[in-house]
Structure 1
Amino acid sequence: MSDSPVPGFRNPDAFEVLPNARLSPTARDVFDVLQARQESCGVVRIRQTDVAKRLDISQAAVSRAIGQLKDKGLLDGRHRQGSVLIHPLFAAYESLPHMLNHLGDPETFVWPLNFPTGDIRPPRASDARTDTGFDPNPDPDGGEDAPAPEARPALRLAG
């Protein structure tokens, strides 16, 4: 293991559009494993056999899932054997300033995503979601179930 701090800051706006990628369940599971194992700035050093063992699936299934992630642009296909690079907007960073510095660096390659994303950008420094793990708009009733309606609507048979 490296001595660098564990990356914990992620761009919240990026993960709101991730369902638009329409990943297969296996590809989403593989992406989750890669997210959990990444170093700062999105570098992941893990073999496909390790991912397959972790998810209890075949290595061929992992290979197909990684191919789908590369096709969607979530992983860089130009990285060396034994490691992958997560797209900079989906990578984890040590902090918001670290993310902004990395994305602002002219050496950072930000490749296009191949699914509808709207306008993903790094969060503003004033974003209420940064530096916390809490929802800025908590559930007003504390998570209690909504009351059941008093009268059920009448049902009719079609035809």
Structure 2
Amino acid sequence: MSSTIPGFHNPQLFEVLPNACLSATARDIFDVLTARQEPGGLVHIRQQELAERLGLSQSAVSRAISQLRDKGIISERQRKGTLLIHPLLAGYESLAHMTNHLKAPDTHVWPINFPVGDIRPPRVRDGRTGTDFDPDPDGGEDVTLEDVQPSLRLAG
């Protein structure tokens, strides 16, 4: 993983992210992915690790990742063990880094499949509202599973 933590995000697109109507599991997985990403949106993580980290079955994680792919939030084409967050939703070192990355000829920008016009308010029944949910409590470092037991509700 890169030594620089991506701290700059595209705020306009994050404001319309509720329009994607993601399931609670997909939102949790997206939170973990954004917390673990390298600058530019590349994430080295396996579905099994996501399932263990969030206390979910691997099939629930697979369904949530499929939903993220269907909405265009993560790339459809990546090798095993890596995911790529959409360049417009990825984290960067700075605004200049984001601009240069988006202008690079080898950067693939695919369509986003949810409305990006009006901002829809978040769901009223969001189970994380008012909690201290931390999608990546260990800051990206590998720890034993006993040390990381976030209190999440299972989507079902």
TM-score (norm 1): 0.72
**1:1-159 equivalences in 2 (<5 Å):** 1-2=1-2, 4-118=3-117
| 1:124 corresponding residue in structure 2 | none
Report the CA distance between 1:106 and its aligned residue. 1.8
* 2-structure distance, mates of 1:118, 1:90: 16
* 1-structure distance, mates of 2:65, 2:10: 22
Report the CA distance between 1:74 and its aligned residue. 0.2
**More strand as a share of residues:** 1
Structure 1 segments, 4+ long, off by >6 Å, are none
* 1-structure distance, mates of 2:43, 2:94: 18
Equivalent residue letter for 1:48:
Q
**3-state SS of paired residue (2:43):** strand
| 1:125 corresponding residue in structure 2 | none
Report the CA distance between 1:118 and its aligned residue. 2.7
Q: In percent, how many aligned pairs have the same letter?
A: 66
* 2-structure distance, mates of 1:30, 1:14: 18
Equivalent residue letter for 2:93:
E
TM-score (norm 2): 0.73
Report the CA distance between 1:107 and its aligned residue. 1.4
| 2:149 corresponding residue in structure 1 | none
| 2:126 corresponding residue in structure 1 | none
**3-state SS of paired residue (1:57):** coil
| 1:123 corresponding residue in structure 2 | none
Equivalent residue letter for 2:38:
E
Higher RCO (C-alpha under 8 Å, 6+ residues apart): 2
* 1-structure distance, mates of 2:72, 2:30: 12
Between the two proteins, the alignment pairs up a number of residues equal to 118
Q: Give CA deviations for 1:78-111 in whole Å, capped at 9, x if unaligned.
A: 1111101000000000111000000111211110
| 2:138 corresponding residue in structure 1 | none
Structure 1 residues not aligned, in runs of 5+ = 120-159
Equivalent residue letter for 2:101:
H
* 2-structure distance, mates of 1:118, 1:111: 18
**3-state SS of paired residue (1:116):** coil
Q: Give CA deviations for 1:15-66 in whole Å, capped at 9, x if unaligned.
A: 1010000000000001101111100100000011111111111111000000
Q: CA RMSD in A?
A: 1.2
* 2-structure distance, mates of 1:100, 1:38: 18
